[in-house]
Amino acid sequence: MSSNFPLSHDELVKITKDFPTPFYIYDEKAIRENVREFIKAFSIFPEFREYFAVKACPNPYILKILAEEGCGTDCSSLPELMLSKMVGLNGEFVMFTSNETPASEYQYAFAEGDIINLDDITHIDFLKKSLGKLPETICFRYNPGSAKHGCNSIIGNPKESKYGLTREQMVEAYRIAKENGVKRFGLHTMVASNELNPDFFVDTAKLVFDLVLEVKEKTGVKISFVDLGGGIGIPYREDQKKVDLNYVAKKIHELYENLIVPAGLDPMRICFECGRPITGPYGWLVTTAIHEKHIYREYIGTDSCMADLMRPGMYGSYHEITVSGKENAPKDHVYDVVGSLCENCDKFAIQRPLPKIDRGDLIIIHDAGAHGRAMGYNYNGKLRCGELLLRENGEVKQIRRRETIDDLFATLDLDGVKNFE
């Protein structure tokens, strides 16, 4: 169920005087309370760390808030590593989980002491050549293939995924790394995206723990930490249920006690790299209804578009929509709520029952705090919107300005084209 929007209609109208729509707005207080709840659920383990997936919401203000709450970051590119450093995170608090990575990015992560998580067995040699040696700590990403069932369509069948090493390759990779002087080892997997079945994550932990034991038996390597990935979903629809984190933690802890402790591997740090359940419910895209269209369907056109929030158009994803000031009005109209992109999939909602929408109404698109602004783009020359932060004291701070035409044209050789023949 969507989180309640934290501002009244009058408060929102006032904000739009200083910050015209469209914009994203995040609730600092709710994010802090939410991540504390997340970490508390898994505090039953001897060691636990949440590495927030930077890709979900790559804004340094958000990362700084989460760092203050004890989170690290999960990064997949050089700019994400740099953002982490900007907010004081490096070393053990940064997991560099990339794929098809250039040598320069490995070199940056190594210089910062970040944990490097390799995606393929051939990357061991590539990393060694890039650095001149292997780091003392190294992690490998496991692709369980057909051993993992029930994966949803977002991330797909592991056997069809480009990510990770097979089980046999994992064992060999640890053997090679150990022979090359690596002293400390981690094991990672990521096989879910927006999954709401709590037992899915328990099953994943069982697969990982079994592999940890196999690696120890066959190579003598003792895994120091396991990263169980992300993928914990949020209830975008009213009839969906939030994942019970306490249940997931309790069941994984039982596996830990039955498998890891008897093997002499305790304490082994348990990690997650969630993004969506941390910030997703506490970010909203606010846009204004600027057009209406009456043809075969009823349409409401907004001043935002798929360039600001691509999930509905790309995945067919559902986001709850409310009309500010009309929250209690009857939903007696059916609309397609659309943007101005020159693509017919540019729709935030399709045949959605909503109150009557008038031009000028403020429309709030819920659960957009993860993979929202982060996935924006400039197709059709669209300028991506800005981001606001609702502080705990009620202040609203702009944490990313909206793009300008000058930003869009900044990489073009505009002077050279004048003399181009």
Q: Which residues are catalytic?
A: 342
Rg (CA), the chain: 23
Which of helix, strand or coil describes residue 221? coil
Alpha-carbon gap, residue 46 to 268, rounded angstroms: 7
Query: Do the Cβ atoms of 81 and 105 come closer than 8 Å?
Result: yes
Phi-psi region of 226 (alpha: psi -120 to 50; beta: other; left: phi over 0): beta
Q: Which long-range contacts (CB under 8 A, 24 or more apart) does 238-242 make?
A: 238/1, 238/2, 238/320, 240/1, 240/196, 241/196, 242/1
Name the residue with tokens 């606001």: 388
Sequence-ordered list of residues with C-beta below 8 angstroms from that of 182, at least 6 positions apart, any chain: 134, 135, 136, 137, 138
Sequence-ordered list of residues with C-beta below 8 angstroms from that of 329, at least 6 positions apart, any chain: 323, 355, 356
The amino acid at 94: V
The amino acid at 41: A
CA angle (389, 394, 398) in 5-degree steps: 25
Q: How many C-beta atoms surround the C-beta of residue 415 within 10 A?
A: 7
Nearest Cα residue to 91 out of 137, 52, 129, 134: 137
Written as six digits, the tokens of 70 are 């004890």
